[in-house]
Copies of this chain bind each other. A is one copy, B any other.
Amino acid sequence: MMIACLPGDGIGPEIMAQALRVLAALDLGIETAIADVGGTAYKKHGHPLPPETLDLARTSDAVLFGAVGDPDCDNLERHLRPEQAILGLRSALGLFANLRPATMFKGLEHMSALKPEVASAIDLLIVRELNGDVYFGEKAQRVLEDGRRQGFDFMSYAEDEVRRIAHVAFRAAQGRKGRLCSVDKANVLETSQLWRDVVIEVAAEYPDVELSHMYVDNAAMQLVRNPGQFDVIVTGNLFGDILSDQASMCVGSIGLLASAALGERQTGKGTFGLYEPIHGSAPDIAGQGKANPMAMILSLAMLLRHSLGLEEQAARVEKAVSRALADGITGADLGGSAGTSEVGDAVLERL
């Protein structure tokens, strides 16, 4: 078993170091290899996703990803910006299924901007399609015949793209409360109409799952009004980007939320995937030992579960993080004072 570790930019390396301490402590005999990605990779190798990094990721059983994003790189041409590294990995590795759980952590309800009674009910999973939609369609700036500049992006979904993510979502709902809400904008978009038609077709294979449909504008409202109503949400790449960030902020503690991006390849013990915290590279606090590594450590737990089939070890890591939180070990993002390595220590002690 080999995990490709891509720490990336900003706080990425600091939080990755803590996740690797946790992995070492589990003593599973898993190999790790580290490679550059993002702005860091651009500065060293002239490209945010160098071929060696992509090769390493491709030959690994799973990828543990820190964060990319570097203000120094904001004015580079699009294909050289740090964000292209994560988009490139998702596309080249066929990581089409993004799982973004948002669950209220007991005792942290006061961190949410929502009322405690609204926030405490949050326990949802967003399943976001990650290889299609307007993200990967033809796009360009051009000058029209009449001389005006135009920017355009082609949005589309084909039935097989919708079908495979729908299956992931229905199966996820079966493993949870059995409710799936598909979010689209079928009253305006043909891409959404196809999405809805195919989701309804797939539903026939999952009579035990209760399927509903919601327009994206209404979903954005409902995630504020009563996020507790949702179990699993499935949606396209663009709407998933927006709603999953909104949902994670409802939980109030973005420093605690992990995510998985799964492909189709089986690793023997699970599914090949890339795991990363929801939060970004936070350049403002990078290198100061302040960043909360919990989301990174919880991403490792997801990796152990989904790609390596190590459910027990995954649960062990998650429990250690919960215990540390329950014992009041919180970083600055949660109003506490524990630094990056202190949080790492606290989790290790509770493993």
Contact assessment for B152 and A191 in the assembled complex, using a CB-CB cutoff below 8 Å: yes
List of B residues within 8 angstroms of A192 by Cβ: 151
A residues 191-248 near B (Cβ < 8 Å) are: 191-195, 198, 216-218, 220-226, 238-239, 241-246, 248
Chain B CB within 8 A of A108 CB: no
Contact assessment for A246 and B245 in the assembled complex, using a CB-CB cutoff below 8 Å: no
List of B residues within 8 angstroms of A118 by Cβ: 113
By secondary structure, the A interface counts as helix
CB distance from A158 to the nearest CB of B (A): 4
How far is A249 from B222 in the complex, measured between Cα atoms in Å? 8
Contact assessment for A152 and B155 in the assembled complex, using a CB-CB cutoff below 8 Å: yes
Chain B CB within 8 A of A189 CB: yes
CB distance from A134 to the nearest CB of B (A): 6
How far is A149 from B153 in the complex, measured between Cα atoms in Å? 20
CB distance from A131 to the nearest CB of B (A): 13
Question: For residue A69, which residue of chain B has the nearest CB?
Answer: B187
Question: For residue A110, which residue of chain B has the nearest CB?
Answer: B115
Contact assessment for A224 and B83 in the assembled complex, using a CB-CB cutoff below 8 Å: no
Chain B CB within 8 A of A55 CB: no
Contact assessment for B151 and A154 in the assembled complex, using a CB-CB cutoff below 8 Å: no
A residues 126-177 near B (Cβ < 8 Å) are: 134-135, 139-141, 144, 148-160
Count of chain copies: 2
How far is A139 from B192 in the complex, measured between Cα atoms in Å? 11
Chain B CB within 8 A of A19 CB: no
How far is A113 from B218 in the complex, measured between Cα atoms in Å? 15
Chain B CB within 8 A of A286 CB: no
How far is A223 from B223 in the complex, measured between Cα atoms in Å? 12
Contact of A245 among B153, B195, B220 (CB under 8 A): B220
Contact assessment for B220 and A246 in the assembled complex, using a CB-CB cutoff below 8 Å: yes
Q: Which of A83, A139, A153 has the most CB of B within 10 A?
A: A153
- Given known contacts A115-B113, A152-B154, is B224 in contact with A189 (CB within 8 Å)? no
List of B residues within 8 angstroms of A160 by Cβ: 148
Given contacts A115-B115, A217-B242, 20 further A-B contacts (CB under 8 A): A113-B118, A114-B114, A134-B155, A134-B188, A139-B191, A140-B190, A141-B194, A148-B159, A151-B191, A151-B195, A152-B156, A153-B155, A153-B190, A155-B155, A185-B241, A220-B243, A221-B246, A221-B248, A221-B254, A222-B249
A-B contact pairs, 18 of them (CB 8 A): A78-B193, A113-B118, A113-B225, A114-B224, A134-B155, A148-B159, A148-B160, A149-B159, A150-B157, A153-B189, A218-B245, A220-B243, A220-B245, A220-B246, A220-B249, A221-B245, A224-B224, A239-B242
**Closest A-B pairs by Cβ, 8 of them:** A151-B194, A152-B156, A221-B249, A220-B246, A217-B245, A139-B190, A151-B190, A151-B191
